[in-house]
Structure 1
Amino acid sequence: MIEPSESFGDMLTHVWHILPLALAFALPVALLGGAVLYRLRGRSLVTSLTVLMLIPVLATFAGVLGISGFMFTPALTTMLLVCLLVGVVTVPSAIILGRAIARRSVWEREARERERAAEAARRDLVAWISHDLRSPLAGIRAMAEALADGIVSEPGEVADYAQRISGETTRLSGMVGDLFELSRITAGALRLTLSAVPLQEVISETLAVQTPVARQKKVKLRADADIWPVVAGSDPELARIVSNLVSNAIRHTPPDGTVAVHVGIDGDNALLAVEDGCGGIPLEEIGRVFEVAFRGTQARTPDRTSTTGGGLGLAIAKGLVEAHRGRIQVHNHGPGCRFEVRLPLAAR
């Protein structure tokens, strides 16, 4: 009964004897690994995890060598092979795990940024549209009260007030329609019935509607084509795209300016370009042109001479173009800017 006790005591004594030696060899390796890890803090997550996996393996390796006195006995060789095997297994695992975590981190960060941007856009939209809706409603209310109280009684003035109320009502209806269309696009509820649509018919009908508006503002409106292509699209949505782009161009072109519509073919796509005379878009704002409710100005009071909405026209046009699997771009060109829409050609 005494011998096992003495054997266990000898073992404890031996452990306490070699523990400081193992610590003396393993601790510097661990500290060095920590320093390397600190220096690599700006590197990729894969590199950091690989170093983190190697630190305990190398520290164990150094501790085993230290307590063995660097005498390569069979037991030491076995221990070193085990450490090597652990390193062979852990390093690839660290690389695979690091890449997976890095991809997930990037995805989560991008998702958070998209969510924040969407939330900011929603807040801006609510604030801007609320202002734009209040303005015509206040005007309609004031004019209706003036008519009801008899402040305005002359037939000519009554007719003028009635015409202005009708104009404000039309603009309100346009805003509500734009909001509904935008909600369909952003919610993914827009379903297009595609067919072969001659682009010439769409542009001709749209320009016929926009010509009186352009004439009232003294803006020249013209269209030309290298060839009139047939696109795969939905007629009402294509008309909405052209109408939004042309009305936007007319609105920002000064009197005696020109709005030109060019049509052609670019590879496998039909090319529709709308050029205006707005004077160009500042480079710091050109990337925001298709944002919801962006007008390029801090003034939110709409133009009383037009039936513009809440700055949703270009955002709707972009959504409808993308729903057709097309692309829309804008860049400064000549005296103004040029909006280019590329839509897939219809199959022959």
Structure 2
Amino acid sequence: MNHKLQTSLKIQKSVLLPKVSQAPSNYMEMKMSQEMNTHYDYLFKVVLVGDEEDIKSSLLWAFTGTSDIVSGYKETIGVNFGINSLYLEDNTIKMQIWDISFSPRVQYLRTFYFKGSSGIIMVIKNWEDANACYKEIEAQCTRPLPVLLIYLNETPLNLPPSPIMNDVQFELIENGFSGIQWLAREMLNRRSIDEKPPIALYCLSRNELQETLHNLREAQQRSKLERLETLRKKRAEQLLFLKESLALMNIPVVDDIVSILSSEALFEVDILTREIDVFPLKCDHCRNSCKRQRQGRLCIIPASEGWSADLDHQSLLTLSSIYALTTGQLPKHVRDQINNILRCSKYCS
């Protein structure tokens, strides 16, 4: 793309979303926060069981945050839902936590609620409850699942003897957040293993319940902030690699926007948000300039794995999209999207 063509693009550009140069830090963090809330590498269903309904509800809040709990259903259908994301190494693990009521009136529904589970959080106040819950887990689940056992007591206690510990692996957990990390790691490692399930024990004092819940929420927030900082650094590196690749292709970038002019439309690719906007120049029917400014947005998806050690999957998709638009080598589904955006017969002269 030569300098003359680039000048014409600058004149015809329309104002779109706020550019990073206007609010670099807040805008980038907002987009990364949105990615964190929607992106995940693995999705697991976790069942929260036990007779201590108030404690379970409090733990569900501590695990997920009030805004992520779909509440009000336990009194009617016997279950509440929450969503929690954990970050282990380079993996984002999203957990759907089902807080199941152990009330006899919803006993016939529990079979459906256990279906598809990958892990269990069991809340008990004595070892008789543990045996009863564990027997139901064995009856309801089609394969052995890892269990995070939260034992409630008036004071911190040492491990007491229990029949459920005889035939299983066992690990002692120091705090609630470590317990959630343990469960996520076990679910990740045991996706295709049918051996005896491991059990982790976390002893929780009732006298320290509120402090424990508060600490758990703080640990969740710290983990999220650390993940956000990691994503920020990686995203900055990817933008640098992407701009260097575009420079080698002699494709200019202005305010993180790549502008591509064809005979029928102006394409603008935002390399930060990865959004592609289309501005029709002429009506596809009468070939006259449109009286009304219009725009549409393309959806381009990858067809295969990438081929660069420096660029991640999303950056490769952005680079490939820019190259395809520049050369006109577009797949049919993208060509159809462009034609739909260009179609504007009711605005013709």
TM range (shorter): under 0.3
Instruction: Give the TM-score normalised by structure 2.
Output: 0.26
TM, length-normalised to structure 1 = 0.26
Higher helix proportion: 1
